[in-house]
């Protein structure tokens, strides 16, 4: 863009009146500054005289200057892969609510699932002297740029061992999915997973419960997209199938579409369970049974960890339990 | 929360070394500050000596202080009703991309569709001395708190007359929907709308094209929710019906669910067109034909308007044209 070269118009300086306030009050500029930054070192007489004069002269202290004096920016950086992903929206909501109640604001940057963009986002955030930072599903983990003042709280399944993190018990999510499908007396199971630790953990829990009940399952590796779910649905119909657990709601939507297109009834002939409980889960037809990640609470916990970090308090990892949300896509097989 | 009372740990002062740098370099503190704020008033000898000393003493200039000197925060406030709504996600993406390419960052706050929350969000944003602000679908319009430094760019259909805004040609969207349905030789039309100027504009365009073709339509007022779309679908089936235009994708999803539940084929018996082209549109079964709002481009334009405002350049309203995205929910009636 050519206008990157145009100089930004310098806004009217807010502090322009500070000299005049100091002169008329007969005090130094530093004293006026102290009055507006709650320093106790100013006598109450002086304070009252300065405040009255400032008010009559229309002097407004600069917020940036105030933050500088306090050594704080009241900003928490937040790096999100993509604000549009519904689970992240819920997390952002929780983060904003907790930070807002402590007078802090969110400096947002999206990484768009690219490591280089994530690193640039972190550098950019650090330029604003944030008091702390939160990163959702980091691609670079401990290699994220940092500063003495600010630590990163990770909302993430990996890498393990991050000191300051919020995560979901994914194995438990897999167990919940298997129990829902066993409850409905299915016998021919399939797992639609993806690369990475989250899917591996979900599968481990799923496999454990099925094994204990004496069942095996077939597996298909997708990539969390609806298209890969459609491929999975088509491929799995080559064998006996009456119950599918997909590691993400989009893949579950794809599985259901593949079944619809072949005239297979859900849940009458094949039951489907998704994961995340994103907004789309309840909009699909039939409405999708899913394993809910408590996004709002996970965001709120991340914000609280960030505040604890700033205050020098303990920042133990917080592990959340998922929850089964049973809807129309699971049920007993039709006779 | 009880820990609101706990004092925030004061981070190590970055500027702690400035006195030492000044003393060893034999210059004033103000000179050291000028060196790190690109002032030209420092001789190159002095500049080199100060930079070398600062580096050897590990002195880091404070970003907040630098911003204060420049009179800019490099922050643009952004108020969004709800980050989870897919259209807003696309807008945020466009905003971030344009601002990021100009070295500016986004200070985010959600209004959750409540006027009081929106006003608090604006006050909070202004406390950070933002250079400008963008508000999506404002509930308070021109009554939003402002400051000399920052103006608000509105991405919004109302109130009309806002000086600095980005909006969609909603009437054109209604025309596109009517043309798509007429093309498929439907005869019994319905409009599912909602309160507000956006829906009224969409309906006006829809009605105009139908009238010119010699057709009337029935109408149902919903509230943009899926539930109200389901009510609409059920109610409209009481009369002859083969084509529905809903003012939002969620309402269209509800209409389709009501039709599915009654065994009505889409599009064979009833064609459905939604509005926004949110992510769910292409996940529904059948995939929903919708009128796309170019969210990314609208966000990018809002960011550009905000930069223009900061630079004192003209900030004419930018009106975007919607686009028909034809998918599986429209087509000719089955014989």
3-class secondary structure per residue, chain B = CHHHCCCCCCCCCHHHHHHHHHHHHCCCHHHHHHHHCCCCCCCHHHHHHHHHHHHHHCCCCCHHHHHHHHCCCCEEEEEECCCCCHHHHHHHHHHHHHHHCCCCEEEEEECCCCHHHHHHHHHHHHHCCCCEEEEECCCCHHHCCCCCCCCEEEECCCCCCCCCEEEECHHHHHHHHHHHHHHCCCCCEEEEECCCHHHHHHHHHHHHHHHHCCCCEEEEECCCCHHHHHHHHHHHCCCCCCEEEECCHHHHHHHHHHHHHCCCCCCCCCEEEEEECCHHHHCCCCCCEEEECCHHHHHHHHHHHHHHHHCCCCCCCEEECCEEECCCCCCCCCC
Residue A271 belongs to domain with CATH number: 3.40.50.2300
Q: Do residues A156 and A304 both lie within one domain?
A: yes
Residue B286, domain member (yes or no): yes
- pLDDT at position B286: 96
Q: Which residues of A touch B13 (CB under 8 A)?
A: 71
Q: Do residues A153 and A264 both lie within one domain?
A: no
Residue B315, domain member (yes or no): yes
Q: Do residues B283 and B177 both lie within one domain?
A: yes
Indicate the number of domains in chain B: 3
Residue B330, domain member (yes or no): no
Q: Do residues A45 and A151 both lie within one domain?
A: no
Single residue among B70, B99, B120 that ends a domain in this structure: B70
SS3 A286: coil
Single residue among B21, B41, B70 that ends a domain in this structure: B70
**Mean pLDDT value across residues A221-242:** 97
Q: Do residues B264 and B189 both lie within one domain?
A: yes
Mean pLDDT score across all residues of chain A: 85
- Whether A68 and B68 have beta carbons less than 8 Å apart is answered as yes
| Burial of residue B303, with CB atoms counted within 10 A of its CB: 0-12 exposed, 13-18 middle, 19 or more buried | buried
- Closest partner residue to A260 (CB to CB) among B68, B92, B285 is B285
Residue B244, domain member (yes or no): yes
- B interface test, pick of A60, A71, A100, A246 with most B CB neighbours within 10 Å: A71
Give the structural domain span for B59. 2-70
**Mean pLDDT value across residues A290-319:** 91
SS3 A190: strand
The verdict on A84 touching B (C-beta cutoff 8 Å) is yes
The verdict on A106 touching B (C-beta cutoff 8 Å) is yes
Q: Do residues A117 and A191 both lie within one domain?
A: no
What are the CA-CA distances from residue B112 to residues A97, B136, B224, B307 (Å)?
Answer: 11, 11, 15, 26
- B interface test, pick of A1, A38, A84 with most B CB neighbours within 10 Å: A84
Q: Do residues A195 and A255 both lie within one domain?
A: yes
ipTM of model: 0.75
- pLDDT at position A27: 85
Residue, of A158 and A178, whose pLDDT is higher = A178
Q: Do residues A66 and A110 both lie within one domain?
A: no
Q: Do residues A227 and A252 both lie within one domain?
A: yes
Q: Do residues A221 and A142 both lie within one domain?
A: no
Q: Which residues of B touch A82 (CB under 8 A)?
A: 89, 93
For B120, the closest chain A residue by CA position comes to A100
pLDDT digits (tens, 9 = 90+) for A47-73: 778 777 776 776 655 554 555 455 678
- B interface test, pick of A18, A104, A108 with most B CB neighbours within 10 Å: A108
Residue A276 pLDDT greater than 90, yes or no: yes
Segments in chain B below pLDDT 70 = 1-17, 36-41, 55, 58-71, 148-150, 158-161, 335
Residues β-bridged to residue A167: A319
Residue B302, domain member (yes or no): yes
- Range with the poorest average pLDDT among A149-163, A227-241, B142-156, B163-177: A149-163
The secondary structure of residue A32, as a DSSP letter, is: H
Q: Do residues B240 and B273 both lie within one domain?
A: yes
Residue A333, domain member (yes or no): no
Single residue among B70, B98, B116 that ends a domain in this structure: B70
Residue, of B74 and A192, whose pLDDT is higher = A192
Task: Determine the Cα–Cα distance for residues A31 and A46; give it in Å rounded to an integer.
Answer: 9
- pLDDT at position A16: 44
Task: Determine the Cα–Cα distance for residues A210 and B7; give it in Å rounded to an integer.
Answer: 51
Strand arrangement of the beta sheet that strand A243-246 belongs to: A217-221, A189-193, A243-246, A271-276, A289-292, A323-325
Q: Do residues A201 and A265 both lie within one domain?
A: yes
Residue A229 pLDDT greater than 80, yes or no: yes
């Amino acid at each position: 863009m050519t206008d990157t070269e145009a100089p930004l118009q310098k806004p009217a300086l807010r502090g322009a009146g500070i000299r005049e306030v100091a002169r008329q009050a007969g005090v130094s500029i530093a004293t006026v500054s102290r009055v507006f930054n709650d320093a106790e070192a100013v006598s109450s007489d002086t304070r009252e005289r300065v405040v009255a004069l400032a008010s009559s002269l229309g002097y407004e202290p600069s917020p940036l200057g105030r933050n500088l004096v306090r050594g704080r920016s009241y900003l928490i950086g937040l790096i999100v892969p993509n604000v549009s992903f519904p689970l992240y929206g819920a997390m952002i909501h929780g983060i904003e609510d907790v930070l807002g109640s402590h007078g802090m604001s969110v400096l947002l940057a999206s990484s768009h699932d690219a490591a280089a963009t994530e690193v640039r986002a972190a550098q950019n955030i650090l330029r604003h002297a944030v008091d702390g930072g939160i990163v959702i599903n980091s691609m670079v983990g401990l290699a994220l740029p940092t500063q003495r003042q600010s630590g990163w709280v990770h909302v993430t399944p990996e890498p393990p061992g991050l000191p300051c993190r919020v995560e979901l018990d994914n194995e438990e999510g897999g167990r919940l999915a298997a129990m829902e499908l066993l409850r409905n007396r299915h016998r021919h199971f399939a797992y639609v997973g993806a690369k990475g630790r989250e899917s591996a953990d979900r599968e481990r829990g799923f496999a454990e419960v099925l094994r204990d009940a004496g069942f095996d399952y077939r597996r298909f590796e997708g990539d969390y997209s609806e298209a890969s779910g459609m491929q999975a649905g088509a491929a799995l119909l080559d064998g006996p199938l009456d119950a599918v657990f997909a590691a993400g709601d989009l893949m579950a939507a794809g599985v259901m579409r593949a079944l619809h297109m072949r005239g297979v009834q859900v849940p009458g002939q094949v039951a489907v369970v998704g994961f995340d409980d994103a907004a789309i889960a309840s909009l699909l037809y039939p409405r999708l049974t899913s394993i809910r990640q408590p996004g709002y609470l996970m965001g709120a916990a991340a914000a609280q960890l960030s505040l604890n970090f700033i205050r020098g308090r303990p920042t133990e990892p917080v592990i959340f339990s998922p929850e089964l949300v049973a809807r129309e896509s699971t049920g007993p097989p039709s006779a």
